[in-house]
Amino acid sequence: MTPPTPLLGARTLDRETARALPPGSRLPTFVQTVLFARHRKTFFPRLRAQYGDVFTIRLVPSSRVVVVVSRPEHIREVFSTPPSIAHAGEGNTALEPIMGSHSLLLVDDDDHVRMRRQLMPAFNGHALRGYSEMIAQLARDEVEAWPVGEPFRLHDRMRDLTLEVILQVVFGVTDSDRLERLRPLVEKVVSVGPVIMLGAFYPTLLRFPPWRTFLRAQQQVDEILYDEIARRRVDPTVAERNDVLSKLLAAGTWSDVELRDQLVTLLLAGHETTATSLAWAFHELARMPEQLQAGQQAADEGDDAYLEAMGKESLRLHPVVYQVGRRLTEATEIAGYRLPRGTTVMPAIGLVQGDEQHFPDVHTFRPERFLGDNPPAPGTWIPFGGGTRRCIGAGFSLLESTEILRAALTRYDVRAVAPAPEKAKPRNVTLVPSEGCTIIATPRPNFGG
């Protein structure tokens, strides 16, 4: 395995190199890190307004140098840089204790190519069509149980639903007893936050709660996953089963540990992100009667293109993941700067998708942007990243959004409890509605008629 590239930071950054970097904030590293972690949605726009489309920040650990780019052509440069030079896996090393060292998000070079090739059959068009009815049924069961005529936090319900999709459609667990055991354990794992992740850097913490509690839940989930993998390996009907785990076993050569790491990656990457994107979509629909009516018409008529456009516009207006990172393994020219080895380059998804130049009336929810003959320009809508590291589950996420929107909009009218939009607040790596997208759902007059 190739040794990791040393970070460009306080210990390796000389004055001459520092002067050649893009301009940026002079605040202390710790302050910049807190602003990045807690307020990036306002911190980044302020820095761009002050320093331009390319700027430098410094983050822990080691006061590492991070160059942020926000123009589509510069982001394309990053995504088109050979993956052997722009390592994405090295930028995610803090996730290794949770996702595992074989996670697609953590490997680079040949390991990444091999694992991505083996994952692709489970996420191609044919496979996605096979998942749609399973997802649709889970969505119908969930929305049928929504409280009627009283406020409820829809984000919580979306998290429950997307978790159920992961357990049944991805893991392939359908046994009711095993599901009852898994749900609370997996909920603890997916709720991992920055404090728990400190255990990766300070192993002594793992002896104390809450780290010890999290570690035990993770171990129990792993026991069940390894048992599922063992059962599936000897299942004579595995080739006919219609879940992601079975398709991975049928299409590739995996060790048990590699499979476990991919399943946990799909769990953590696909649960909170899709739930949050859907919550923001309903947040907008509950305040825009005309858009709600258009969405209901699309749901009634089976207009999947419009329903998918609603999911895309939610991801544009409220980017769940605000930025991605690459670590340069050698000196590279990006955005007109010769960036040294070890620099972290960060395409700012939120900045480019929130730019009036690319999306007129940028703060308004308009799914129509993604329909017709004039779609967004290449490189301006990038919620799933780009290049060889584009999220492999992008199609699955959009399919899930389409089916869940259809299930809810054919059945309900939705309205907001308060007319003012909810503010975004950070929840781990995502930005979620501060009040959980609190709405009131009432049956449509023609439902069931």
- How far is Cα 202 from Cα 180, in angstroms, rounded to an integer? 33
386 contacts 79 by C-beta, under 8 angstroms: yes
CA atoms of 284 and 366, how far apart (whole Å): 10
Give the DSSP letter of residue 166. I
Helix (H) or strand (E) holding 244: helix 244-251
Q: One-letter amino acid identity for 384?
A: F
Q: Lowest-confidence range among 216-220, 406-410, 441-445? A: 216-220
Judged against a pLDDT cut of 60, whether residue 442 lies above it is answered with yes
Q: What is the largest CA-CA distance in the chain?
A: 73
Residue 448 in domain: no
Long-range contacts of 407-410 (CB under 8 A, 24+ apart): 407/136, 407/139, 407/140, 407/142, 407/143, 408/139, 408/143, 408/146, 408/282, 408/441, 409/285, 409/292, 409/295, 409/296, 409/298, 409/299, 409/307, 410/296, 410/299, 410/300, 410/444, 410/447
Q: Which residues pair with 86 in a beta bridge?
A: 328
AA identity, residue 118: Q
Q: What is the mean pLDDT of residues 122-133?
A: 94
Residues 358/377, Cβ–Cβ less than 8 Å: yes
Residue type, 259: L
Between helix 289-301 and helix 394-409 the angle, nearest 10°, is 100
Residue 389: burial class (beta carbons within 10 Å; 0-12, 13-18, 19+): buried
pLDDT range class, residue 449, cuts 50, 70, 90: very low
Closest CA relative to residue 45, chosen from 334, 319, 352: 352
Q: Where are the alpha helices (DSSP H) in 271-360?
A: 272-285, 289-301, 304-317, 349-353
Q: What is the pLDDT of residue 201?
A: 64
Whether the CB-CB separation of 413 and 442 falls below 8 Å is answered with yes
Establish if 7 belongs to a structural domain: no
Confidence of residue 190 (pLDDT cuts 50, 70, 90): confident
Q: Which domain holds residue 169?
A: 15-443
DSSP structure string for 385-432: --GGGS-TTHHHHHHHHHHHHHHHHTTEEEEESSSSPPPEEEETTEEE
Tokens of 59: 């983050």
Nearest to 287 by CA among 424, 438, 139: 438
pLDDT in tens, 288-341: 999 999 999 999 999 999 999 999 999 999 998 899 999 999 999 999 999 999
- Residue 363 within a domain: yes
**How many domains are contained in the chain?**
1
* Separation of alpha carbons 119 and 142, rounded Å: 29
| CATH value at residue 191 | 1.10.630.10
Angle at 157 between CA 151 and CA 162, to 5 degrees: 160
Cα separations in angstroms, 196 against 214, 215, 431, 432: 8, 9, 19, 20
Domain assignment present for 274: yes
- This prediction's pTM: 0.93
Q: Quick check: is 6 in a domain? A: no
Q: Which residues are paired to 440 by β-bridges? A: 415
Q: Would you state the structure tokens that stand for residue 51, as one six-digit string?
A: 């320093």
Residue 449 belongs to some domain of the structure: no
- Of 430 and 222, which is predicted with more confidence? 222
Domain annotation covers residue 4: no
Residue 1 has pLDDT above 70, yes or no: no
DSSP labels for 170-205? IS----HHHHHHHHHHHHHHHT--HHHHGGGT-GGG
Instruction: List the single range of 102-111, 218-227, 394-403, 425-434 with lowest mean pLDDT.
Output: 425-434
The answer to whether residue 2 is domain-embedded is no
